[in-house]
Amino acid sequence: MTRRSTGALTLFLPALLAACSADGPAAPPTSTAADPVPAQVDAARDELAALAAAARDRRLTARYALSGTDGPTRDITVTSANDGSWRVDVPGGALGGTVDVSLAATPDGLFQCGLPSAGRPGAATCVRLGDRDDTVPRRLDPRVQHPFTDWLAVLTDRRTPLSVSAASAPAGVPGKCYAVETTSASLNPPLDVGIYCYQPDGTPTFVKAALGTLTLAGPPGPGPATVPLAGPVVTGEPLGPDAPEPTETAAATPIS
């Protein structure tokens, strides 16, 4: 091979190799970034957080129908006052459904009040359960107060592991609805998964969760300046959920 042909070959080989590399398959991307959250899902979370924030500031007196639990539909009365105090009256909320109770948080603390009812004919009295921001002990908790109190803070906190998507409103329910699920396994989830509906002003109109189904039963009224307790505060034990033990009557002994 002559020196001239050797030089031509030297120039030709790099060009040929470059052409082969250009025509070969592209290398797969190496990025390991997580897939972005769909825009509509992120928007639903933002919308619900804004409505829950409005609900936290909403001052009202409203009546809700509670269904989907043992027994007939019950009327739950919710009061949110201008000073931030609140009260929720729960018919059949204690002693196996025989006694009506009221839960209230005021500047003086958290209270359970026994109301005059079939299983408790006396006047209303209240027992202090703790400080205003304490939670109702689990064994005494009727749960229906949560959608109007502490669960609103959960829905506004973007750090809470929740999945939120738009949901269809049930027939006759005003406002926008959202399906809420938790995205982490926990023995004590921050709220019940379910459907939550609100009007634009923050009025809760519908909740369907493990506690049952709450449906706004009429136009809400304004909230008072503060929430009064149903009765005086007394020293004693709060009313539990279980029915009282039946009283056994001793059988009469015949005289021989």
Query: 39-222: what fold?
Result: outer membrane lipoprotein receptor (LolB), chain A (2.50.20)
Q: Would you say 115 and 230 are in contact if contact means Cβ atoms under 8 Å apart? A: yes
CA neighbor of 129 nearest in space, from 97, 95, 101, 98: 101
Domain segments of the chain as ranges:
39-222
Q: Are 164 and 48 in contact (CB under 8 A)?
A: yes
Any idea what DSSP says for residue 166? E
Instruction: Please give the model's pTM, rounded to 2 decimal places.
Output: 0.79
**What DSSP element (H or E) covers 100?**
strand 99-106
d(CA 144, CA 222): 21
C-alpha to C-alpha distance for 51 and 24, rounded to whole angstroms: 54
Per-residue pLDDT in tens (0 to 9) along the chain, 256 residues: 444 444 444 444 444 444 444 444 444 444 444 445 455 568 999 999 999 999 999 999 999 999 998 789 999 999 999 999 999 999 999 999 999 999 999 999 999 999 999 889 999 999 999 999 999 999 999 999 999 999 999 999 988 999 999 999 999 999 999 999 998 877 788 999 999 999 999 999 999 999 999 999 999 999 999 999 999 999 999 999 888 777 654 444 444 4
Secondary structure (3-state) at 139: helix
The single-letter DSSP state of residue 101 is E
Residue 2 burial (10 A CB sphere; 0-12, 13-18, 19+): exposed
**Best CA proximity match to 157, nearest among 206, 132, 191:** 191
Please report the pLDDT score of residue 4 as a whole number.
Answer: 47
Task: Give Dmax (Cα) for the chain.
Answer: 144
Please provide residue 83's backbone torsions phi and psi, each rounded to the nearest 5 degrees.
-90, 10
